[in-house]
Structure 1
């Protein structure tokens, strides 16, 4: 059972999402919250598997709420999936840096949202279609330009390079497994090794490393 906590300042959105999730046998809606402070408190009290997090809310916003949840040892296992009307907003990328596991626009089809929650609950990160290119461009714009570390990718096997290229293209672990004709567990292991070998915190950083080293170009993402 996937325990879900819904966070949005609009009651209609919260209720609509709750109705959608309660029709699925593998989901349990444990609570909802209308602002960031309530979200942080509910994360502690309910210990959900996944939080659906709005960004723009009264009090502390979804970015700060995500940061507090991700940085607290009592709640850092909670996965945050950001839902926003502004999938091009730079705040989305700030949420990813704060510790969110992924994001989707609010106009996502219901089936895609349900799939995304399951993906995030299983430990994968998820970016909406088209997000990878914008992620690269946002980091190019906001991050100080630094020369790539010499030899960074030399520690990778050819298979790991292939996996990195797919990660940079926005593929989930399940999609990587399908494209490389390997098991899901093997795909997940490859991604974990990439994070360790490249000293990357998350998949977003893997995307940037892939771009900086020419593994993938913005137009390919």
Structure 2
């Protein structure tokens, strides 16, 4: 009987270690997080830790893999839905990511404050690379469908997913920096307008890369951006 539950116990302890490491990354930053911090949090021995992870680097790889898997699951049904057009899939792809962020808004705001610090530079690059490798092929699949449907006319369909994702990541980084700038200044209106403009510019660029009809992709509006401004700032400048 003990043998049948042992794999479950092992999986549970591994999740606990990953949960703790992820929490420490978000509070201290990866560069300042040590294996000892994890051991102290969980009250486990070094031997117990190394039963699951050979090193701090191995722990980072596992964290990256977990984030990659969690973000991929909700996207796959959209990409493989036979009833959706390519443009509907692309819209659904972006909308799903937006919904996930909104659903975890409080955690996203906490992450935003530490994600772009030097202490998380390594983990940020690791996650960005992993997400890029995961999502680019999914976007390419959508692009190839769009070419078959005669709604996309890109001359580089096999590279389009990578180009789109590079634009999306660039847009996300710019949005994050604009939001974080509100912690040093109180010009909310200008920040909101800048984010709306940046989003429109990047969506326009993606449409041009695809050869898609103008304005076929969603543009963020002022009210949607204000939700994030409110979550980040609270009543700091009320």
Question: TM-score, normalised on structure 1?
Answer: 0.29
Structure number with larger C-alpha Rg: 2
**Larger proportion of strand:** 1
Higher relative contact order (CA 8 A, sep 6+): 2
**Larger proportion of helix:** 2
